[in-house]
Amino acid sequence: MTDLGIRRIEGRAITVRGNDIDTDRIIPARFLKALTFSELGEYPFYDERFDSEGREREHPFNRESARGAKILFVNANFGCGSSREHAPQCLKRWGIDAVVGISYGEIFAGNCEMIGVPAARAEAQALAKLQEAAEADASAEFCVDLERMEVRGGNLRVPIELPENRRRALLDGHWDSTGQLVANAEQVRNVYERLPYTRGYQEA
Amino acid sequence: MASGTLYNKIWDSHVVERLPTGQYQLFIGLHLTHEVTTPQAYDMLAERGLRVAWPERTVATVDHIIPTDDLARPYVDEQAELMMQALEKNTRSFGVRFLDFASGRQGIVHVIGPELGMVHPGMTVACGDSHTATHGAFGTLAFGIGTSQVRDVLASQCLSLDPLRVRRIEMNGALAPGVEPKDVILHIIRRLGVKGGIGYAYEYAGSVIEGMSMEARMTVCNMSIEGGARAGYVNPDETTFAYLEGREHAPVGEAWDAALTHWRSFASDADASYDDVVEMRGEDIEPMVTWGIHPGQSVGVHEPLPDPEAFDEAERPTVERAYAHMGFRPGQKMTEVPIDVCFIGSCTNSRISDLRTAAELARGRRVAEGVKAIVVPGSQAVKKQAEEEGLDRVFSEAGFEWRHAGCSMCLGMNTDKLVGDQVCASTSNRNFIGRQGSPRGRTLLMSPSMAAAAALEGRVSDARTLA
């Protein structure tokens, strides 16, 4: 399956500060009981955005400018913890098409990649400038450019990194791996037949 | 680049192809599944007209949403009932074996895979659950994956992956009496940090690890992801083989002998090279307890809580947030902290050895007044074994509730949840904000004996003083 490639993500940005923001905070476990991902766009950071009576609290996702934002600026080890794909799914369904941070929980980064959301890395000080710029002017527009590997916004130009194969997959529209894996069924069978455990450790 | 390690040997024997993206296609020997991370994957398969490529290499169970008190259908929680029905329907229509309650083999996915003898040294294992590294205890390469990757494994029995680096964590010396496997892994995560493992598979080695039982090794490997590592493993040895022998899915007769030869060949070579080696001493480890909001924020039970100023500037906001959420103060000792709830269970600590340890302390004592304490065995088999040993009566007589198997209060996806800002002494693996079902709930991670001691004393206590 081939999707259209992604070259640039342009739009407003939300800054969520803090290291080690885990996927339980991004989407609490009770929302994982939904049988589809389709409704998850309302729930990013739900328990931080609303108190127990459902009243809104101060949170970057509750600001008016957050509606329609395309880019998320975070800090280190974002998305650590649970493997729930619901975390990047809820962000994407909110409208986030790119995340820029210092580092990520690896399963989270892999899940982003699987759904065509770049989880790009930037150096800490440069990232801080992006976060400040997005906070200072809620209407500021940014561009995550996967060809030039930089984020631009105002007078800022910040280099970003992605593993080259992930960047390539996004540019070429090949991030959905199922088709590629299924296409190699013949080679899979060869590996299967070579592994002793698949035949109960009996000689072939 | 590491070479000659178990990681390298399993990787090399399971690589199918290099994909056009540059990632590697890796064959997955065992796919463990549960109700929460699969319904969307099955839907995606159906939308694309794909079937499950190797249904005999996938197995399903129900653990996250299953009630642990009233199992009557339909479940009290309507969403849980729908989730269960989806799993029943999907496994039936795609031809996947479902180990449900009626099978007698239901339980937490990371407890039943090993206890049924499905997990063999030299295998690759995947599961839509971050604690899949548990199976590394058997000398496997085991990956926690997301739902789109579950779709990949169902459709192709493969994953698209990048290679990892390998860090050997060599834990030598010996553990002091009363120090448990949970303390070992909490100590490792505290030392190396919750981000320290990013990009790595952890190889746990040294005399402390080699001297551990399989259940102990599972506890250690289980929390690899809490240290940021994508996978964690222990080289297979005689302890591994003795555990597997005679289990339902273990080979027998000539096949057993052939398997042993094969399994032995996967252990890291004596002259293997690693991307990193870290040495630690078992004697340096005390009974541990977490005080914060991630598993790296822990102290020895008698150690005062740290000063935020002692941390790097970048780490300080997380430390301050932890103090604000937990309501603790620097310099305080955890032994001053009263608890409201005790949870003994989860894929980290719900096996028979964990229950025996906790029961030993509970025998002849009473849970402190005002404390709600629940014991949730990891599987139906663990529950049955415990009941044969009379542990259920020990717990009940002491005032602990004895429940059915499941994930339960580890993440509060069933009806077992913290309420308000309750403090819970928990044998689970995550103390994240809101993890146990209440946004204001407070989780203290610790070993089974420490959790039992906290329940009996009504506050965090050094279990060694009760023994």
| Dihedral sign (CA B259, B262, B268, B271) | positive
Nearest to B37 among A84, A105, A187 (CB): A84
Each domain of chain B, given as residue ranges in start order, spans 6-161, 165-249+259-284, 288-465
Using N-to-C axis directions, what is the helix angle for A86-94 and A106-114, rounded to 10°? 50
Task: Work out the minimum CA distance from A156 to partner chain B, whole angstroms.
Answer: 22
Q: Is A37's CB within 8 Å of B40's CB?
A: yes
State the Cα–Cα distance between residues B170 and B425, nearest whole angstrom: 29
Reported as a pLDDT band with limits 50, 70 and 90, residue A2 is very low
Using alpha carbons, select from B366, B395, B394 the residue that is nearest to residue B457: B366
Q: Which residues from chain A sit within 8 angstroms of residue B14, using beta carbons? A: 191, 195
DSSP for A92-150, written as a single string: HHHT--EEEES-B-HHHHHHHHHTT--EEE--HHHHHHHHHHHHH-TT-EEEEETTTTE
Helix axes B214-222, B181-192, angle to 10 degrees: 30
User: Which chain B residues are closer than 8 Å to A20 by Cβ?
Assistant: 194-195, 294, 318
Where exactly are the structural domains of chain A? 8-174
Comparing A4 with A16, the larger pLDDT belongs to A16
Angle at CA of residue A77, ends A76 and A78, nearest 5°: 90
The sign of the CA dihedral B397, B403, B408, B410 is positive
> Where does the pLDDT of residue A1 fall: very low under 50, low under 70, confident under 90, or very high at 90 and above?
very low
- Stretch A25-48: mean pLDDT: 97
Phi-psi region of B381 (alpha: psi -120 to 50; beta: other; left: phi over 0): alpha
Per-residue confidence (pLDDT) for residue B292, from 0 to 100: 98
pLDDT tens-place values along chain B, 467 residues long:
899 999 999 999 999 999 988 899 999 999 999 999 999 999 999 999 999 999 999 999 999 999 999 999 999 999 999 999 999 999 999 999 999 999 999 999 999 999 999 999 999 999 999 999 999 999 999 999 999 999 999 999 999 999 999 999 999 999 999 999 999 999 999 999 999 999 999 999 999 999 999 999 999 999 999 999 999 999 999 999 999 999 999 999 999 999 999 999 999 999 999 999 999 999 999 999 999 999 999 999 999 999 999 999 999 999 999 999 999 999 999 999 999 999 999 999 999 999 999 999 999 999 999 999 999 999 999 999 999 999 999 999 999 999 999 999 999 999 999 999 999 999 999 999 999 999 999 999 999 999 999 999 999 999 999 97
**Residue B194: its chain A contacts at CB < 8 A?**
20, 77, 80
Residues of A in contact with B430 (CB under 8 A): 22, 24, 81-82
Class of domain A8-174: alpha beta
What fold does the segment set B165-249+259-284 form as a domain? Aconitase; Domain 2 (3.40.1060)
Pick A196's closest partner by Cβ from B199, B258, B412.
Answer: B258
Amino acid occupying residue B293: I
- Crossing angle of helices B147-156 and B39-47, rounded to 10°: 50
Place of tokens 């399971």: B14
- Closest-CA residue of chain B to A77: B195
> Strand pairing partners for B342?
B373, B425
Cα dihedral B364, B365, B371, B376, rounded to 10, equals: -40
CATH code that applies to domain B6-161: 3.30.499.10
Contacts of A8 by beta carbon, 8 Å cutoff, 6+ apart: A143, A144, A145, A146, A147
CATH topology of domain B288-465: Aconitase; domain 3 (3.30.499)
Distance (Å, rounded) from C-alpha B51 to C-alpha B155? 6
Q: Tell which residue, B341, B119, B373, has the closest CA to residue B222.
A: B119
Q: Which of A80, A104, A181 sits opposite B158 (nearest CB)?
A: A181
Q: Are B147 and B41 within 8 A, CB to CB?
A: yes
> CB distance A198–B29 less than 8 Å?
yes
State the pLDDT at residue A3.
53
Residue B307 neighbours by CB distance under 10 Å: 10
Alpha helices in B193-306 (DSSP H): 207-210, 214-222, 238-244, 254-264
Rounded to whole angstroms, the Cα distance separating B291 from B110 reads 26
Q: What is the pLDDT of residue B340?
A: 98
Give the gap in angstroms from C-alpha A111 to the nearest C-alpha of chain B. Answer: 6
Name the percent of chain A lying above pLDDT 90. 95
Long-range contacts made by residues B82-86, C-beta under 8 angstroms, separation at least 24?
A: B82/A33, B82/A35, B83/A33, B83/A35, B83/B35, B83/B36, B83/B39, B84/B35, B86/A35, B86/B35, B86/B39, B86/B42
> In chain B, which residues have their Cβ closer than 8 Å to the Cβ of A197?
29, 120, 122-123, 259, 262
Please give the Cα distance from B63 to B370 (Å, whole number).
28
CA distance B181 to A202: 36
Asked if residues A12 and A138 have their Cβ atoms less than 8 Å apart, the reply is yes
For A141-157, how does the pLDDT look when each residue is reduced to its tens digit (9 = 90+)? 999 999 999 999 999 99
CB contact under 8 A, B82 and A35: yes
Cβ separation B413–A22 shorter than 8 A: no
Mutation target to probe the A interface, by most A beta carbons within 10 A, among B82, B109, B147 is: B147
Backbone φ and ψ of B30, nearest 5°: -140, 125
Q: How far is A99 from chain B (nearest CA, A)?
A: 18
CA distance A104 to chain B (A): 8
DSSP3 helix / strand / coil % (chain B, rounded to 5): 40, 20, 45
CB A195 within 8 A of CB B13: yes
3-state SS, residue B202 = strand
Residue with tokens 């929302």: A31
Residue B93 has a CB neighbour count (10 Å cut-off) of 12
Planar angle of CA A15, A18, A20, nearest 5 degrees: 125
Percentage of residues in chain A with pLDDT exceeding 70? Answer: 98
Using an 8 Å CB-CB cutoff, list chain B residues near A34: 79
Residue B459 gets which letter from DSSP? B
Chain B neighbors of A192, CB-CB under 8 A = 27, 54, 157
- B interface mutation test: which of A6, A21, A35 has the most B CBs within 10 A? A35
pLDDT in tens, A38-97: 999 999 999 999 999 999 999 999 999 999 999 999 999 999 999 999 999 999 999 999
Using a CB-CB cut-off of 8 Å, the residues of chain A touching B159 are: 181
Residue B287: which residues within 8 A CB-CB, separation 6 or more? B178, B179, B180, B183, B300, B301, B446, B447, B449, B450, B462, B463, B464
Q: Does this chain's domain B6-161 share its CATH topology with B165-249+259-284?
A: no
Q: Can you tell me the distance from the alpha carbon of B138 to that of A69, in angstroms, rounded to the nearest whole number?
A: 46
How far is B80 from B67, CA to CA, in rounded Å?
A: 9
A96 to chain B, minimum CA–CA distance in Å? 18
CA distance A41 to chain B (A): 16
Residue in B22, B230, B318 nearest the CB of A19 = B318
Cβ atoms of A122 and A83 within 8 Å: the answer is no
Q: Cβ A188–B53 below 8 Å, yes or no? A: yes
ipTM: 0.95
Nearest CA-CA partner of B441 in B458, B423, B453, B428: B423
* Chain A nearest C-alpha distance from B179 (Å): 25
Q: Which of B65, B135, B156 to mutate to test the interface with A (most CBs of A within 10 A)?
A: B156
DSSP 3-state assignment of B298?
A: strand
Scanning every residue of chain B, which has its alpha carbon at the shortest distance from the alpha carbon of A76? B195
DSSP state of B103: G
DSSP A177: -
The pLDDT value recorded for residue A107 is 96
Which pLDDT score, from 0 to 100, does residue A114 have?
95
Q: Up-side HSE of residue B387: CA atoms within 13 Å toward CB?
A: 12
Which residues of chain A form beta strands (DSSP E)? 8-15, 71-73, 98-101, 119-121, 141-145, 150-153, 156-159
Q: Of A18, A176, A178, which has the smallest distance from its Cβ to B156's Cβ?
A: A178
Confidence of residue A204 (pLDDT cuts 50, 70, 90): low
